Amino acid sequence: MDAISVIRTKRDRGELTPEQIDWVIDAYTRGEVADEQMSALAMAILLNGMNRTEIARWTAAMIGSGERMDFSSLSRPTADKHSTGGVGDKITLPLAPLVAACGAAVPQLSGRGLGHTGGTLDKLESIPGWRALLSNEEMLRVLDTTGAVICAAGDGLAPADKKLYALRDVTGTVEAIPLIASSIMSKKIAEGTGSLVLDVKVGTGAFMKNIEDARELASTMVGLGTDHGVKTVALLTDMSTPLGLTAGNALEVRESVEVLAGGGPADVVELTIALAREMLDAAGIKDADPAKALADGSAMDVWRRMIAAQGGDPDAALPVAREQHVITAPASGVLTRLDAYEVGVAAWRLGAGRARKEDPVQAGAGVELHAKPGDEVTAGAPLMTLHTDTPEKFDYALQSLEGSFDIAAPGASYEATPVVLERIA
């Protein structure tokens, strides 16, 4: 085998053989295939695509580059969830303890934010003492004792993906659907979960801007899960408007705790329960009611145990930004649009996100919303509050919010977009 022949095959719209795929992934992981050669292959895949057989083999090779976790010792069935990322997407925080309270084990390997999308680990690290880095033994112990764990993936899990993703990020090939699907699914399958629910976001604040691309990605990932023996289902969900009323790390933790306490924004509650039902069904748990587990406090109990088991203090005060700036409504009427992407960029610019993986984040930074599309607003009343420790960032954040919302005349009609758009199984 040699890298040039593999590149030429895909450049010329050919189908890569299983032997070519196995060799190129292994050789790239070992450093025998150079970055410039793999970037040429990634671009050829972006332009010419892959069929289901190729994607399945590519994913298997990525999985085979590292270790596979084993949860067979647990007394509960395992169910996991993955979101493709959005603005205000704090769903993992209430979802994992909720599903655990209903009888499943939730081994949630999560990531950090990059750019305008938030990261689950960054949010949880705003809780004093909480640890994202756990050994495999620690992860299994937390999972066994509390029913849920949210932590970072270890270096041994699909190392080929980690190396390839970093390359795609700087070569303009992140958008290749076969590579997105194999990146997500290689880690989730290697993680060892028995079932998986995918939350594929659609809209301005999502990676997939239109429903056709989101449907293709979701169908590809469901097929990959099925091919590898993991029961997989996907929901396409709206990300044209931020989820909930907050975008930022500690701000979103606070809102998640409100959901676990039986309150919180309606869209966050709706999506949390919808995903919980899918996860429980996929795990074979038919008689549990996630809405009841939110209402009776059992999900909150699991949350507190889970946070404490990872070194966090569930009673500690969350960080608060030192400075705030209020944006008021310029007119009275009905808020008809609030662009998720622009709100996410504003939160990032305020310090809630990072441009590079090594950048620090501010725990208290972000955007707090006082109205969502469909709400009546009054001229001069607060529309958003910006939070940061560095007030010199306000002007930069405000630039991204110019033109980010529309207000129609008082009494104007408004038709809300459903939170869940489609289900793919």
Residue that the structure tokens 């409504």 belong to: 329
Beta strand segments in 302-409, E:
323-328, 333-338, 366-369, 376-377, 382-388, 405-408
pLDDT confidence of residue 55: 95
pLDDT confidence of residue 207: 87
Q: Which of 161, 238, 267, 339 is catalytic?
A: 161
For helices 159-169 and 52-64, the axis angle rounded to 10 degrees is 120
Extents of the domains making up the chain = 3-49, 80-156+177-309, 323-408
How many angstroms separate the first and last alpha carbons of the chain?
A: 37
Q: Give every CB contact of residue 142 below 8 A, 6+ residues apart in sequence.
A: 134, 148, 149, 151, 306, 309, 310
Residue 78 and residue 92: Cα distance in Å, rounded?
A: 15
User: Could you name the CATH architecture of 323-408?
Assistant: Alpha-Beta Complex (3.90)
Residue 104 and residue 101: Cα distance in Å, rounded?
A: 7
What share of the chain in percent tops pLDDT 90?
91
β-partners of residue 233 are: 197
Is 168 marked active-site? Answer: yes
pLDDT confidence of residue 163: 92
**In whole numbers, what is the pLDDT of the chain averaged over residues?**
95
In the DSSP assignment, the letter for residue 409 is P
Q: Which of 65, 83, 182, 183 is catalytic?
A: 183
Structure token pair of residue 36:
């410039």
Structure token pair of residue 59:
């994913």
In our burial notation (b when 16+ CB lie closer than 10 A, e otherwise), range 6-20 reads: bbebbbeeeebeeeb
The dotted CATH code for 3-49 is: 1.20.970.10
Is 187 marked active-site? Answer: yes
pLDDT confidence of residue 155: 83
pLDDT in tens, 172-231: 898 899 999 999 999 999 999 999 999 999 999 998 999 999 999 999 999 999 988 999
Residue 170's pLDDT band (cuts 50, 70, 90): confident
Q: Look at residues 87, 60, 97, 14 and name the one whose alpha carbon lies nearest to residue 303.
A: 97
Q: How confident is the model over 371-396, as a mean pLDDT?
A: 98
β-partners of residue 377 are: 333
- Which position has the higher pLDDT, 327 or 227? 327
- Which position has the higher pLDDT, 322 or 112? 322
Structure token pair of residue 321:
């930004």
Is 254 marked active-site? Answer: no
> How many other C-beta atoms lie within 10 A of the C-beta of residue 152?
17
Residue 194 and residue 230: Cα distance in Å, rounded?
A: 6
Tell me how far CA of residue 227 lies from CA of 165, 187, 195, 253, in angstroms: 22, 15, 13, 36
Q: Look at residues 407, 398, 406 and name the one whose alpha carbon lies nearest to residue 378.
A: 407
Residue 118 and residue 137: Cα distance in Å, rounded?
A: 28
pLDDT confidence of residue 33: 97
Q: Which of 90, 187, 188, 349 is catalytic?
A: 187
pLDDT in tens, 43-77: 999 999 999 999 999 999 999 999 999 999 999 99
Is 90 exceeded by the pLDDT of residue 169? no
pLDDT confidence of residue 113: 82
Q: Which of 10, 90, 112, 168 is catalytic?
A: 168
Q: Which of 81, 82, 112, 349 is catalytic?
A: 82
**80-156+177-309: what CATH class?**
alpha beta
Is 80 exceeded by the pLDDT of residue 357? no
